[in-house]
Amino acid sequence: MKNSADGELAPSIAVRSLSYAFPDGSSGLLDVSLSLPPGSRTLLIGANGAGKTTLLRLLSGKRMAPAGTVALAGVDPFLHGLEGVTYLGVEWVLNPIVRTDIAVPELLASVGGDAYSDRRDELVKILDIDLEWRMHAVSDGERRRVQLAMGLLRPWTILLLDEVTVDLDLLSRYNFLQFLKRETETRPCTIVYATHILDNLAEWPTHLVHMSLGKVKKWGAIGNIEVKASAGKSGNSKLGDIVMQWLQEDLDERGPRKGYGSEGKTYQSYEGLGGYGHEGAKH
């Protein structure tokens, strides 16, 4: 799939027979396989505890996957520390620096704002950021806008997002998603986005991945995934009906929660400023 003006090929994402256990021995992922084509925009769908965060952290190289199970653009992200892979996850938003008395322009400059001035200005406009803000005196939603600008300021080739729009209002989320869509349509890049919020997403994804209890149950191009004929009465888009159907099936299969743990969304510490952009993948 060639999706940039110069015909350069965007990176693909491949997972093959990936199983992962946490340090305490509990299972995180079980025999996960999927293939996401170059230039795709994938929604990662599943209930809390499905394994979405674990998968994204393995794709980013923040956790070591067994040899030969994960490849981004054909390369193991843990062993080789891919330039251009950006992961913005839950622990990223805990960075204490963005809660100190510091001005927005200083923060943006610290992650390359001057080197990518056009991109910086576009993100400031899209995310409706006030350059007069002091970070200790803004709301969580305003702080999240600045953090997104920091994380996306340097051009990336693979973007992995884990529930990073939860604090954005409807218009900001729409503008942000449209920016990401344009990115994949105008330059070689690929996105995987885990979220429970489906506002403005009906026409956004090219692919869906359905996870439940550490397994991938379904994946593929959105046009090839059908919703049951009985769906459609909820007032949702087709995407909303697909997700509602999947989550109900998962609940019916799983039953009441009895010891099913979360996927590790509470972290003891922030893993360094590299969480904002391109870091070596060994941690």
**DSSP labels, 151-216:** HHSS--SEEEEESTTTTS-HHHHHHHHHHHHHHHHHSS-EEEEE-S--TT-TTS-SEEEEEETTEE
Whole-number Å distance between alpha carbons of 63 and 137:
34
Q: What gap in Å lies between CA 82 and CA 251, rounded to an integer? A: 37
Could you report how far apart the first and last alpha carbons of the chain are, in Å?
A: 32
Q: DSSP class of residue 164?
A: T
Question: What is the per-residue pLDDT for 92?
Answer: 63
| Closest CA relative to residue 213, chosen from 28, 16, 22, 19 | 28
- CA atoms of 153 and 113, how far apart (whole Å): 7
Q: Is 17 exposed, middle or buried (0-12, 13-18, 19+ CB in 10 A)?
A: exposed
pLDDT score for 28: 92
Q: What is the pLDDT of residue 182?
A: 95
C-alpha distance from residue 72 to each of 14, 34, 156, 211 (Å) = 6, 12, 13, 20
Are residues 100 and 136 in contact, defined by beta-carbon separation less than 8 angstroms?
yes
With vertex at residue 274, the alpha carbon angle to CA 166 and CA 107, rounded to the nearest 5 degrees, is 70
Residue with tokens 């218009």: 171
pLDDT in the model for residue 133? 95
pLDDT of amino acid 258: 59
Query: Beta 13-21 vs 70-72: how paired, if at all?
Result: antiparallel
Q: Using alpha carbons only, how large is the chain's radius of gyration in Å?
A: 19
Confidence of residue 168 (pLDDT cuts 50, 70, 90): confident
Averaged pLDDT, 180-200: 93
pLDDT at 172: 87
pLDDT at 252: 82
Measured distance CA(186)–CA(76) in Å, rounded: 26
The pTM for the full model equals 0.82
Separation of alpha carbons 234 and 247, rounded Å: 14
Question: 213 with 222: CB under 8 angstroms?
Answer: no
Q: Which residues does residue 88 pair with via DSSP β-bridges, in sequence order?
A: 161
For the segment 11-37, the average pLDDT, to the nearest whole number, is: 93
Q: Is the pLDDT of residue 230 over 60?
A: no
Residue 82 pLDDT grade (very low, low, confident, very high; cuts 50, 70, 90)? low
What beta strand segments (E) does 46-189 contain?
Answer: 70-72, 85-88, 158-162
Identity of residue 93 = V
Higher-confidence residue of 239 and 122: namely 122
pLDDT at 74 over 90: no
